[in-house]
Structure 1
Amino acid sequence: MALFTFKLPDIGEGISEAEIVGWHIKVGDRVEEDQPIADMMTDKATVEMESPVAGVVVRLAGEPGDQVPIGSMLVEIEVEGEAGAGTGAGAGTAPPPSKETIEAETPGEAVMEDVRQDSVRTDPEKAPASAAPSRTEEGEGSARLDPNEAKGGAEPILASPAVRARAKELGIDLSQVKPTGDRIRHADLDAYLLYGSGQGYRPAGRSAPRADEAIKVIGMRRRIAENMAASKRHIPHFTYVEEIDVTALEDLRAQLNAGRGDRPKLTMLPLLIVAMCKALPDFPMLNARYDDEAGVVTRHGSVHLGLATQTDAGLMVPVIRDAQDRNVWQLASEIRRLADAARTGKAKSDELSGSTLTLTSLGPLGGIATTPVINRPEVAIIGPNRVIERPVFRGKEVVAAKLMNLSISCDHRVVDGWDAASFVQAVRKLLEAPAFLFVD
């Protein structure tokens, strides 16, 4: 037997270290060649590492949340025959470490389980419920001991037949009720209904109890926290909100969907993206990135649109390349493809970087108005809100109209309020007369 040291390889993104998001293995497990062993987070994506050899795991590099330098030990595996260091020189053969060494240098098993969701969660409702002992009534009396209640050394439960009958009717397990005297009384049942643990009967409107959770902020969630904090710390945000009448746009969208054939169903987003791309040439300061350390603003000719996407791991921003060159159907297909790739963890690193402007939408949860946080180093982010139907004046008549607020947050170091408002008004003009979306 020999010891194989698998070193963290260069993932090819110019990084010096990667963060352990979660382990698929623990010390003592046997792994096979090409078996997934760990999820590692870089600045751009999560990469699944696979074992290059088969053997028994004897040592892990650290806990979820720890940073591992490129080229350093990630996993040590005991293999048959001669072994050395994976992805680099150096480890050579070595006797397997002692049990005491493994226990001293290896994190506990409690933190070595798979944490793909970036945290270790405890759900009290998923804990196995112990079977309650059966109880029987033995005629009349103020307090009786059921025969089954004494099994296994359990403390007998004393209650009158009337109390037992009421508890049965309410679905209350008497073993969960704490008596205030020598036996369980009706007052104890009332107190349980009001303040009880929630196991068994729970009155309408009462929420189930939850245990406190201590969740380590790692992986994607930590990266989001760092990026958002840096954005708010460095960028002087301002937000502008305008109301847009999208009645005609919604009618057009319904007509396009009715004749779409096998093409993807259109949401509001592809139409909004077309309007943004048509308006942006007149407002180049919005489609830009600001390197505040170098003091340089780069105004981009192409619109590489970031699409804020909610995933189980947190918020990700896949990028629609050259959005200005795509029609509504192509945009709809790309939106769906990128969103699926992000949510399933299959988005490539180059699909998660290089955006020049970001669009964020909460869909039906869009609210009345939003103040989105800029995706640094970009200088603007746009957020449509939900469409609602309200009465509006058309001349002297009151008619029903579909209205939507459009929010934009900008970096005031680069974008003036007048420019942001003028851009939104240009987008509004296109959305309220949607025929102009399809003409030059």
Structure 2
Amino acid sequence: MAQVLEFKLPDLGEGLTEAEIVRWLVEVGDVVAVDQPVVEVETAKALVDVPCPYGGVITARFGEEGTELPVGAPLLTVAVGPTASGAETEGSGNVLVGYGTSEAPARRRRVRPGQTAPSAPREANGSSGTRETADGPVPVISPLVRRLARQNGLDLKEMTGSGPDGLILRADVEYALRAAEAQGRTAEPTATPQAPAPTSAAGTALRIPLKGIRGAVADKLSRSRREIPDATCWVDADATELMRARAAMNASGGPKISLVALLARICTAALARFPELNSTVDMEAREVVQLDHVHLGFAAQTERGLVVPVVRDAHARDAEALTAEFARLTEAARTGSLTPGELTGSTFTLNNYGVFGVDGSTPIINHPEAAMLGVGRIVPKPWVHEGELAVRQVVQLSLTFDHRVCDGGTAGGFLRYVADCVEQPAVLLRTL
């Protein structure tokens, strides 16, 4: 006789107490293996898959997509035992998000009478949507797009996607919403009723809930603004020699070195000289806590909002190791597979906003850190070099710092050292 076991939303760690169901990966009647991902959830830290510690047949699911559940709430029930179609009967004992005792097997579906097995697997293009039958849901690029349409009363079946094979993208939904507003049509939400939006002659405003990653970022930035008396200083630097040094490194063979890795190496060298900026403030004890390690955060823009992945022990890594870790974390941020541990614990942040085509910025410090280095775009500009006017590769560097941990002299000294390393990379040899 099969035994029915209940699987609850596990302790997600990092102080997280709830998660939102983004997408179910299994249905009632599906056969699952031990540690197979069964649901995709979004926490305040990341979008992650939750593996089930039991093998058997899914008998019930709890919560629709878009539902927020607290830790410990039931997720699903699994029938295990001899009648579970040969499924494993032992639990893995593993209930932590993002970890498993083995690689998750391909999803196995129960074929009901009158049905035929699917002839094609899920999409292989990396999107979160699925290619579904004509009488089923419309294919979309991600569950978040489907939710955006549902909350604003859009019928996806009436839309034509601009993606491959008619895949509906987020831009398609946003365009439809703007078109509806321009035509004076009001979309009635079909999900949980929300507070009425203020109206004007232009129509109804779009209300986007601040929850999940975006909500966590909003809370953190607001806290930073409230608690940290920040100040910003900046300087222009001639990055021509740094660009030449990188080109020489990459021409010598071996793995290519990224520019952000060289900037990170410069940051860690500067923090060794100015440790005040690698610290945090304990207001209860009224102490500045200087840290003896550098966990370097870097800002990454994703479809789900701004995230700050963390390179652990950046001070102990060389340029090649830094390049590899930046690449790994950036790809994980893009796919939404960062773990909570990879998004917390940074002690200093590097913000390369030059990728957005801008020269300067005064960013908000990543609480509870004490400083953030900003790097603008590197562009050819007129520059006085060796007493003559020349065209050089120029970058603007900025340092936003907590004025409680140091004064302008320390902040200026840090930024000047960074600029000197950018202009003369040989300066770094003194600290290698």
TM (norm. structure 2) is 0.66
Contact 1:37/1:48, CA 8 A, preserved across alignment: yes
In structure 2, how many angstroms separate the alpha carbons of the residues matched to 1:59 and 1:321? 38
Per the TM alignment, residue 411 of structure 1 is displaced from its structure 2 partner at its CA by 1.5
1:427 equivalent among 399, 404, 418: 418
Residues 1:353 and 1:336: Cα distance change in structure 2 (over 3 Å): same
Residues 267, 2 of structure 1: alpha-carbon distance in 2 compared, 3 angstrom cutoff: closer
Counterpart in 1 of 2:214? 221
Taking the TM superposition and a 5 Å limit, the aligned residue runs for 1:265-304 are 266-304=257-295
User: How far off its partner does 1:288 sit?
Assistant: 0.9
Alpha-carbon contact 1:119-1:216 (below 8 Å) kept: no
Change (3 A) 1:330 1:121: same
Q: How does 1:246-257 map to 2 (within 5 A)?
A: 246-257=239-250
Paired amino acid for 1:300: L
User: What residue in structure 1 maps to residue 68 of structure 2?
Assistant: 66
Alignment identity in percent? 32
Which residue pairs with 2:127 in the alignment? Answer: none
Structure 1 partner of 2:50: 49
Report the alpha carbon displacement of residue 325 of structure 1 after superposing the two structures with TM.
2.3
Query: In the superposition, relative to structure 1, how do residues 44 and 54 fare at CA in structure 2: closer, same or farther (>3 Å)?
Result: same
User: What does 1:374-389 correspond to in 2, within 5 Å?
Assistant: 374-389=365-380
Instruction: Report the equivalent of 1:7.
Output: 8
Number of matched residues?
335
Give ranges in structure 1 of 5+ residues lacking alignment: 88-108, 131-194, 198-209
Does residue 1:232 correspond to 2:225, yes or no? yes
Distance in 1 (alpha carbons) for counterparts of 2:225 and 2:145: 23
> Which of 254, 259, 266 matches 1:262?
254
Q: Equivalent residues in 2 for 1:74-113 (5 A)?
A: 74-76=75-77
Q: Is the Cα contact below 8 Å between 1:36 and 1:49 reproduced in 2?
A: yes
Indicate if the aligned counterparts of 2:239 and 2:393 stay in contact, CA closer than 8 A.
yes
Cα 1:196/1:287, change in 2 over 3 Å: closer
Q: Which moved more, 1:57-66 or 1:396-405?
A: 57-66
Structure possessing the higher radius of gyration over alpha carbons: 1
Residue 122, structure 1, aligned to residue 149, structure 2: yes
Distance 2:241 2:228 in 1: 37
In structure 1, what is the Cα distance between the partners aligned to 2:4 and 2:207? 36
Deviation at 1:299, TM superposition (A): 0.7
| Shift of residue 38, structure 1, vs aligned partner | 2.3
Partners of 2:5 and 2:325 in 1: CA distance:
43
Q: Secondary structure at the match of 2:76?
A: strand
SS in 2 for 1:122: helix
Quote the residue 1:32 is aligned against: 31
Residue aligned with 1:40, SS: strand
Residues 398/382 of structure 1: CA separation in 2 closer, same or farther (3 Å cut): same
Q: 1:65 to 1:404 in 2, by over 3 A?
A: farther
SS at match of 1:254: helix
For 2:262 and 2:353, the matched residues in 1 are separated by 16
Describe the shift of the 1:217–1:115 C-alpha distance in structure 2 as closer, same or farther (beyond 3 A): farther
Deviation at 1:323, TM superposition (A): 1.8
Deviations 1:241-270 (A, max 9, x none): 1111111111222222222x2302x33222
Letter in 2 for 1:31: D
| Aligned counterparts of 2:382 and 2:16: Cα–Cα separation in 1 | 58
- Amino acid of the structure 2 residue aligned with 1:19: A
Q: Deviations over 1:190-212 (max 9, x none)?
A: xxxxx999xxxxxxxxxxxx997
Equivalent position SS for 2:333? helix
What SS does structure 1 have at the residue aligned with 2:398?
Answer: strand
- Select which of 305, 326, 330 maps to 1:339: 330
Cα deviation, residue 40, structure 1: 3.4
- The question of whether the paired residues in 2 share the 8 Å contact of 1:20 and 1:38 is answered with no
Q: CA offsets, 1:288-322, max 9 Å, x none?
A: 12233443322112221112222333222222222
User: Aligned in 2, Cα 1:436/1:69: closer, same or farther, shift over 3 Å?
Assistant: same
Paired residue type of 1:5? E
Gaps of 5+ in 2: 85-90, 94-135, 161-181, 185-202
Aligned residue identity for 1:36: P
Counterpart of 1:158 in structure 2 is none
The amino acid that maps onto 1:244 is A
Match of 1:243 in 2: 236
Aligned-partner SS, 1:376:
coil
1:14 to 1:384, Cα distance in 2 relative to 1, 3 A: closer
Q: Report what 2:298 is aligned to.
A: 307
* Deviation (angstroms), 1:381: 0.9
